[in-house]
Structure 1
């Protein structure tokens, strides 16, 4: 998964982020969040043994970032009052825009709804905004994340009601 995430982060950021921004966000933010794997809320799409896409949802407070970006506890959310998180969606850059992200999103929405959540929230990188808009998410706010080397990464906090 880490190889897919790295390739996706660099290649699919072209036209949205500079090379410096793509390299920084891929190095310091993107990656597998092992808590999602342990929680059973992270999924992959494969074809003939080849990993094509990965992504998940979370019942925990962390909004974005892989293991290397996290610090401290990651408490559980209250489905009655808080939004589940959509996390770490990546598609193989050899097969973009073929519905893989949407398939993962539909599965995550169903699973989060089964767990009692009524709303989903995420922090989108600029390459992800078109997918999330197409899936019904609305931008709540735009913000920037400053990474080492004083590299600024524009992001959008987005939300969608699912129930």
Structure 2
């Protein structure tokens, strides 16, 4: 998570908060993992529920977001597997599936400060700073971001279909 961005207390607090994946992502079949040699090395998913940031209400049913909006959630990569393109693969898959299955015209996420440059490279724009209250009394700064995904694109080649009138 980036020791230069967060204190040990903040990292411990957020780790305790996120150590269990949101059961809605699992139940919806919208949570994806990458395994290597039987170990989980990257993961992430999407939802159309209104739950946008990490919260203590993860186990409660959530209302739907405004139409055509999806939220990318629970994106993690094992530190030993960072900088190998795994998070990008998870993001591309989640974005494509949320667009194609969830009919998302807008995608939102909450980025850690250390993840902010990565998400900006993927085309996400900053909406506003936010913070997450932690059970250890700390506060975890983060940033809410969003983007409008390209329609009918082949992500691997970044080629979009154009309709001719």
TM range (shorter): 0.7 to 0.9
CA deviations on 1:97-131 (whole Å, 9 max, x unpaired) are 11111100000111011121111001112122122
TM-score after normalising by structure 1: 0.83
- Is the Cα–Cα contact under 8 Å of residues 101 and 131 in structure 1 kept in the other structure? no
Q: Which residue of 2 aligns with 1:77?
A: 65
Which among 116, 120, 127 is matched to residue 140 of structure 1? 127
Supply the distance in 2 between the matched residues of 1:110 and 1:57 (Cα, whole angstroms).
10
Work out the number of aligned pairs and report it: 149
- Is the Cα–Cα contact under 8 Å of residues 137 and 158 in structure 1 kept in the other structure? yes
Q: Which has the larger radius of gyration?
A: 2
TM-score after normalising by structure 2: 0.82
Q: Which residue of 2 aligns with 1:31?
A: 20
- Go from structure 1 to structure 2 and tell me whether the alpha carbon gap of 1:30 and 1:139 turns closer, same or farther (over 3 Å shift): farther
Q: Which residue of 2 aligns with 1:103?
A: 89
Pair 1:41-2:30 in alignment: yes
Q: Which runs of 5+ in 1 are unaligned?
A: 1-11
Pairwise mapping of residues 1-163 of structure 1 onto structure 2 (< 5 A)? 12-65=1-54, 69-70=57-58, 72-80=60-68, 83-114=69-100, 115-162=102-149, 163=151
Shift of 1:96: 0.6
Range with greater deviation from structure 2 (134-143 or 56-65): 56-65
- Computed over aligned residues only, the root mean square deviation of the Cα atoms, in angstroms, reads 1.8
- Is the Cα–Cα contact under 8 Å of residues 28 and 69 in structure 1 kept in the other structure? no
1:23 is paired with a residue whose SS is: helix
- Is the Cα–Cα contact under 8 Å of residues 33 and 65 in structure 1 kept in the other structure? no
Q: Which runs of 5+ in 2 are unaligned?
A: 152-165
Structure with the largest fraction of helix: 1
Supply the distance in 2 between the matched residues of 1:28 and 1:50 (Cα, whole angstroms).
22
